[in-house]
Amino acid sequence: AKKWINIRKSYGNFYKVPRNQTKLTMMLENLGMNYDGRPHSGLDDSKNIARIAIRMLQDGCDLRVNERMHGGQLMTVSSSVPLEGAPAPQMPRYRN
């Protein structure tokens, strides 16, 4: 993978919170969610990050690629760069 969405960065920008409030457990807590599973389990962390991403989409966030690797260096991708490829799937507008 050369491009990805850094959920911490997207969360901070969308909800207007400082970087020190974008730890996984804090993001879940601020969204009124509990951590599901065992902390630091790769699978459980991934599932919880996906729950955050779904909630952000439901709240109207336009998740875009915001980081990439170029020549072995981590780079930030500008939000003004047009999306490549197929359009993002549309998420339902309901809450659990």
Amino acid identity of residue 32, one-letter, is: G
Percentage of the chain lying above the pLDDT 90 cut? 67
pTM, full prediction: 0.77
- Residue 88 is predicted with a pLDDT of 45
- In DSSP terms, 3 is beta-bridged to 68
Tokens of 87: 């359009």
Secondary structure of residue 75 in the 3-state scheme = strand
Measure the CA–CA gap between 66 and 3, rounded to whole angstroms.
Answer: 8
List the chain domain ranges: 3-76
Measure the CA–CA gap between 45 and 36, rounded to whole angstroms.
Answer: 8
CATH class for the domain made up of 3-76? alpha beta
**75-96: pLDDT as tens digits:** 888 765 444 444 444 555 555 5
Q: Which helix (H) or strand (E) holds 53?
A: helix 42-58
